[in-house]
Amino acid sequence: MDHAFVRNHTVGYERLRAEILARGYTLSWGAKVTGLDERQIQDLAEIYARTRKAIVIGNAGLSHHTNAVQTHRAFYLLAAITGHFGERAMGYGCLNNGGRSTGRIPLPEEKLPRPEMELSKNPVGWLESIEDPAYPYALRGLIATGSPLTQWPDQSRLRRLMDRLELSVYNGLTKNVNAYYFDYILPAATWIEAGGLAPVSDDSRFVWVPQIVQAPGECRPDRWWWVELGQRMGWAEVFTDDLKDPVNLQNIAGAAGGYTVERFTARPDYALRAPIRVDGDAVKERGTLFLDKRFPTKSGKIELWTEELEERFAAYGLSAVPHYYTDPDAAPAGEPTIAYDRPALVPSPFQRGRTYTRRVRIARRQEEPDGYPLYLATGRPCRAIMGHTAHWIRRLNDLAPDQVCVIHEDTAARLGIRDGDRVEVRSRFGQAEARAVVSQDIRGDTVFVPYSYGEKSPFTAWRSINHVTNMEARCPVSGQVAFRGVRVKVTKA
Last residue within a domain, chosen from 231, 260, 284: 284
**Residues 399/385, Cβ–Cβ less than 8 Å:** yes
Amino acid at 203: D
In a domain, 85, yes or no: yes
In a domain, 234, yes or no: yes
Residues 9 and 78 in one domain: yes
- The rounded percent of the chain whose pLDDT value lies above 70 is 99
Asked whether residue 101 carries a pLDDT value surpassing 90, the answer given is no
Angle between helices 68-81 and 13-22 (to 10 degrees): 120
> Counting beta carbons within 10 angstroms of the beta carbon of residue 470, is it exposed (0 to 12), middle (13 to 18) or buried (19 or more)?
buried
99 against 433, higher pLDDT: 433
Angstrom distance (rounded) from CA 279 to CA 445: 57
Asked whether residue 97 carries a pLDDT value surpassing 70, the answer given is no
pLDDT value of position 342: 86
Residues 85 and 215 in one domain: no
- The rounded percent of the chain whose pLDDT value lies above 90 is 84
Residues 310 and 275 in one domain: no
Residues 278 and 300 in one domain: no
Asked whether residue 234 carries a pLDDT value surpassing 80, the answer given is yes
**Rounded average pLDDT over 311-320:** 96
Angstrom distance (rounded) from CA 204 to CA 289: 12
Per-residue confidence band for 281, with pLDDT thresholds at 50, 70 and 90: confident
In a domain, 424, yes or no: yes
**Rounded average pLDDT over 216-220:** 95
Last residue within a domain, chosen from 284, 307, 328: 284
**Rounded average pLDDT over 307-322:** 96
Residues 278 and 400 in one domain: no
Residues 223 and 88 in one domain: no
**Residues 429/489, Cβ–Cβ less than 8 Å:** no
pLDDT value of position 99: 64
Angstrom distance (rounded) from CA 73 to CA 467: 30
Residues 145 and 259 in one domain: yes
Per-residue confidence band for 308, with pLDDT thresholds at 50, 70 and 90: very high
Among 110-114, 211-215, 216-220, which stretch is predicted with the lowest mean pLDDT? 110-114
Summarised one tens digit per residue, pLDDT across range 134-158 is 999 999 999 998 899 999 999 999 9
**Residues 378/448, Cβ–Cβ less than 8 Å:** yes
pLDDT value of position 200: 79
201 against 466, higher pLDDT: 466
**Residues 172/155, Cβ–Cβ less than 8 Å:** no
Neighbour-count burial for 166-200, b at 16+ CB within 10 Å, e otherwise:
eebbbbbbbebbbeeebeeebbbbeeebbbbbeee
Angstrom distance (rounded) from CA 283 to CA 493: 60
pLDDT value of position 96: 63
Amino acid at 383: R
Provide φ and ψ at 225, rounded to 5°. Answer: -65, -40
In a domain, 438, yes or no: yes
Count of CB atoms situated within 10 Å of the CB of 33:
11
Global confidence as pTM: 0.92
Per-residue confidence band for 383, with pLDDT thresholds at 50, 70 and 90: confident
Summarised one tens digit per residue, pLDDT across range 42-79 is 999 999 999 999 999 888 889 999 999 999 999 999 99
pLDDT value of position 381: 85
- What rounded mean pLDDT belongs to the chain? 93
98 against 316, higher pLDDT: 316
Sign of the Cα torsion 286, 289, 294, 295 reads: positive
In a domain, 91, yes or no: yes
**Rounded average pLDDT over 336-345:** 92
The CATH number linked to 309 is 3.40.228.10
In a domain, 358, yes or no: no
Residues 277 and 303 in one domain: no
**Residues 173/179, Cβ–Cβ less than 8 Å:** no
Per-residue confidence band for 258, with pLDDT thresholds at 50, 70 and 90: very high
Of the CA atoms within 13 Å of residue 449, those in its CB half-sphere come to 34
Residues 188 and 55 in one domain: no
pLDDT value of position 98: 57
Biggest alpha carbon–alpha carbon distance for the chain: 71
Residues 311 and 171 in one domain: no
**Rounded average pLDDT over 353-357:** 93
Q: State the residue range of the domain holding 190.
A: 122-284
Asked whether residue 322 carries a pLDDT value surpassing 90, the answer given is yes
The CATH number linked to 240 is 3.40.50.740
**Rounded average pLDDT over 217-239:** 94
User: Which of 336, 345, 393 shows the shortest CA–CA distance to 364?
Assistant: 336
The CATH number linked to 450 is 2.40.40.20
What is the domain count for the chain? 3
Residues 177 and 268 in one domain: yes
Residues 384 and 475 in one domain: yes
In a domain, 346, yes or no: no
SS (H, E, C) the chain: CCHHHHHHHEECHHHHHHHHHHCCCCHHHHHHHHCCCHHHHHHHHHHHHHCCCCEEEECHHHHCCCCHHHHHHHHHHHHHHCCCCCCCCCEEEECCCCCCCCCCCCCCHHHCCCCCCECCCCHHHHHHCCCCCCCCCCCCEEEECCCHHHHCCCHHHHHHHHCCCCEEEEEECCCCHHHHCCCEEEEECCHHHHCEEEECCCCCEEEEECCCCCCCCCCECHHHHHHHHHHHCCCCCCCCHHHHCHHHHHHHHCCCCCCCHHHHHCCCCCEEECCCEEECCEEECCCCCCCCCCCCCCCCCEECCCHHHHHHHHCCCCCCCCCCCECCCCCCCCCEEEEECCCCCEECHHHCCCEEECCEEEEECCCCCCCCCEEEECCCCECCECCHHHHHCHHHHCCCCCCEEEEEHHHHHHHCCCCCCEEEEECCCCEEEEEEEEECCCCCCEEECCCCCCCCCCCCCCCCHHHCCCCCCECCCCCCECCCCEEEEEEEC
Q: How far is CA 151 from CA 136, 278, 406, in A?
A: 27, 39, 19
In a domain, 106, yes or no: no
pLDDT value of position 315: 95
